[in-house]
Structure 1
Amino acid sequence: MASDTTSPPPAIAPATSGSWFLLPRPVWTGLGLVSLVLQLVIYGRWLADGGYRLAPTRSPDDDFPIITQLAITAFYSVIIIAGLVVYLRRMRREGRMNLELAMCLGTFLSLWIEPLVNIRATVMQYNAHGIGVISSWAPYVPGWSGQPARYEPNLPLILVSAWVGGAIAGMTGCSLLIRLRRRHQLSTARFIPLFVGTCILFTLLADPLFYALGFFRWDSGITGFTLFPGTWHQFPVYETICFSTLMLSYLAFYYWYRTKGTDFFDPSPTAPRPLRRVIPVLAVIGVTNAIMLFYISILGTFGQFGTISPDHLPEFWVVPSPP
């Protein structure tokens, strides 16, 4: 006589150590939720006060930064579109959001932190001569002591396209390095210098370019540690250190997930059903916000020791004069 020996499916076990990235996933989820609440408050104050309207500026005749802004925005837009097509197809195939899409979203939702580098003094400033220039939300952050509201320019087209496009390019590069390691069976001792060196090389080649193209300028060069000191395109070396740290942190998280931490983005088995797939996305938002906050904190700290500002600004450089 046949008997029914089919056992019930095993219960979903709680997330294992693969859900830890330095801290337990619930901590990252909480950080992600807090960052979203802070953004809502800050953006709400900014919009309600009309703080996005930049104070009047002069109208220069030089189109140099307009042309370069269009070129860079178009370049990163192509990367974003290509990346999103791949990620969305994968999401449709798998039936849920993938980590890459969550990291793009997390990068976008961490950009509210970027202008806080000037929270104490002007370290870096956007050129008000550009496309879609607005006044920053940063003056509405508690503790702000930089330029007043409506006098802190921001270029959201460059900000969003460069950061999100850069995130996609970084994840693509990291995936290629992972394949390279597997194909050539690189040891950890050989892979780590390759990984770190690639991040630093990219920073050295790409980062100064953004300032030479007229989008931003540094107002806080440190004597002996600044390239082209006193010029409008001066570049403090500490930015290379800080941005390399950001890239390494960002890609280290992605590499860890791809190789060891796949549980991190699994739906939460103990949460209410509507939140099960939201929680891992919040955790990724928490990670990206923490990395951005760390980067801006060390960048702003270095900037407090800067004493070199540009001696002369070209015709295409425009900023509102403080009241």
Structure 2
Amino acid sequence: MTTAQTTASVSSRLGTRSPVLWWAGFGAVMVGAELIVLTRWVADRGWRLAQRPAPGAPGPGSPTITHVFTACWALVIAAMILWIIRDCRRSRRLSFPAVVVAAALLSPWLDLLGAARRPVFAYYADNPMVIRSWSPYLPGWRGGDQPVTDLLAQMLIYYVSMPLIFLIMREAVRYAARRRPHWGLLRLSAVSLAACTVCGAGLMFAGVAVRLFAFVDVIPELTLFHGTRFQYPLYDALLLGVCFAAFGMLWYRQDGHGLTAVERGADRLPTRYRTWARILAMTGTIQLALLAYGLGHVLLGLAASPAPAVLNTPVLLGPAAPW
């Protein structure tokens, strides 16, 4: 048998028993699409805002609270990164949290997908670190030409933080499994969903409270504090739970090699490919969850009401407001 035939035979056998190849393939496709979008954005110098709100432009709250919270949260993230590095060095392998961080850094391009048809949520434009988002370069985007994003705060609070949320979910499942040993996969998955819903809602509401972003067009009957800058749609929490609950179970159900269900088979790949396969597989999984979350908001946005007057300001709605 020739070398090519041997390689093809091994790949065929791996493909039938290695979910990591399927997920890594999907992750590679998503990263490829991301590169196309971001390349167009960079080539067009699309990060430049056509106009920023004038100093003192009317808007709810002050950006100072955002800066303070972001700085404090950066300390939390630094501690988490040190913990991850220590864990990787002790085990002499790339741990699940490390893989999640690497995958999360490849995934924020879908951040504003939920606002693709109407401004379901929007970032405040008077924070000095905001730039024009790449979202208008997404296929089918109709959410305005000048949406902004605070990339640093967004990455720290919502993407690099993913291992913290997944850790809480895993520990909740572990606790439930110890207290209720007879519980099966379905009930433990419900525990992970509940933990994800609560933690996700807390983190999202924190972003609203510290004035990083606001939920703009919402369904009033399903929204807490409707009509204020603190309004938070309860269905967002449920969407987060449904779309991300699986990650708590993935971590809880690691195999003897420390691999989750989507990474299974990576240990049978050549050594030089294992790390990249695991990262791409996790990237595909996270981006699938983000895609489902964004499309869920697009659909629910069809029943949403326009932004209340307190949020209809130049610092939030950009071109929809009189700049």
TM-score normalized with structure 2 length = 0.81
Q: Which residue of 1 aligns with 2:4?
A: none
Q: Which residue of 2 aligns with 1:45?
A: 40
- 1:267 deviates by 6.4
Check 1:52–1:240 CA distance in 2 against 1; reply closer, same or farther (3 A cut).
same
- Distance in 2 between residues matched to 1:264 and 1:297, nearest whole Å: 23
Check 1:96–1:74 CA distance in 2 against 1; reply closer, same or farther (3 A cut).
same
Q: Is residue 145 of structure 1 aligned with residue 145 of structure 2?
A: no
- Distance in 2 between residues matched to 1:280 and 1:180, nearest whole Å: 27
Which amino acid in structure 1 is aligned with residue 46 of structure 2? G
Q: Which residue of 2 aligns with 1:85?
A: 82
- 1:258 deviates by 6.5
8 Å contact 1:15–1:263 — kept in the other structure? no
Query: Where in structure 1 are there 5+ consecutive unaligned residues?
Result: 1-10
Structure 2 residue matching 1:317: 3-state secondary structure: helix
- In our comparison, the structure showing a higher alpha carbon Rg is 1
Query: Where in structure 2 are there 5+ consecutive unaligned residues?
Result: 1-9
Check 1:93–1:134 CA distance in 2 against 1; reply closer, same or farther (3 A cut).
same
Shifted more, 88-97 versus 235-244: the winner is 88-97
Q: Which residue of 2 aligns with 1:300?
A: 298
Per-residue CA deviations over 1:123-181 (Å, capped at 9, x if unaligned) read 11111011310000011122222212xx1111112210111343122133234335534
RMSD: 3.2
Check 1:309–1:96 CA distance in 2 against 1; reply closer, same or farther (3 A cut).
same
Check 1:223–1:176 CA distance in 2 against 1; reply closer, same or farther (3 A cut).
closer
8 Å contact 1:267–1:276 — kept in the other structure? no
8 Å contact 1:125–1:153 — kept in the other structure? yes
Q: Is residue 155 of structure 1 aligned with residue 150 of structure 2?
A: yes
- 1:104 deviates by 1.2
Q: Is residue 256 of structure 1 aligned with residue 253 of structure 2?
A: yes
Check 1:262–1:46 CA distance in 2 against 1; reply closer, same or farther (3 A cut).
closer
- Distance in 1 between residues matched to 2:16 and 2:105, nearest whole Å: 28
Check 1:280–1:192 CA distance in 2 against 1; reply closer, same or farther (3 A cut).
closer
Structure 2 residue matching 1:321: 3-state secondary structure: helix
Check 1:263–1:16 CA distance in 2 against 1; reply closer, same or farther (3 A cut).
farther
- 1:274 deviates by 3.1
8 Å contact 2:136–2:144 — kept in the other structure? yes
Check 1:204–1:80 CA distance in 2 against 1; reply closer, same or farther (3 A cut).
closer
Check 1:300–1:257 CA distance in 2 against 1; reply closer, same or farther (3 A cut).
farther
Which amino acid in structure 2 is aligned with residue 211 of structure 1? V
- Distance in 1 between residues matched to 2:80 and 2:105, nearest whole Å: 15
Equivalent of residue 125 in structure 1, options 122, 125, 128:
122
Which amino acid in structure 1 is aligned with residue 156 of structure 2? S
Q: Is residue 171 of structure 1 aligned with residue 169 of structure 2?
A: no
Check 1:178–1:17 CA distance in 2 against 1; reply closer, same or farther (3 A cut).
farther
Check 1:90–1:289 CA distance in 2 against 1; reply closer, same or farther (3 A cut).
same
- Distance in 1 between residues matched to 2:39 and 2:213, nearest whole Å: 26
- Distance in 2 between residues matched to 1:275 and 1:319, nearest whole Å: 45
Check 1:76–1:165 CA distance in 2 against 1; reply closer, same or farther (3 A cut).
farther
Q: Is residue 209 of structure 1 aligned with residue 206 of structure 2?
A: yes
Q: Which residue of 2 aligns with 1:57?
A: 52
- Distance in 2 between residues matched to 1:42 and 1:215, nearest whole Å: 24
- 1:255 deviates by 2.6
- Distance in 1 between residues matched to 2:234 and 2:273, nearest whole Å: 44
Q: Which residue of 1 aligns with 2:197?
A: 200
Structure 2 residue matching 1:176: 3-state secondary structure: helix
Structure 2 residue matching 1:146: 3-state secondary structure: coil
Structure 1 residue matching 2:142: 3-state secondary structure: coil
Equivalent of residue 175 in structure 2, options 166, 180, 194:
180
- Distance in 1 between residues matched to 2:106 and 2:239, nearest whole Å: 20
Structure 2 residue matching 1:121: 3-state secondary structure: coil
Which amino acid in structure 2 is aligned with residue 44 of structure 1? T
8 Å contact 1:18–1:263 — kept in the other structure? no
Q: Which residue of 2 aligns with 1:288?
A: 286
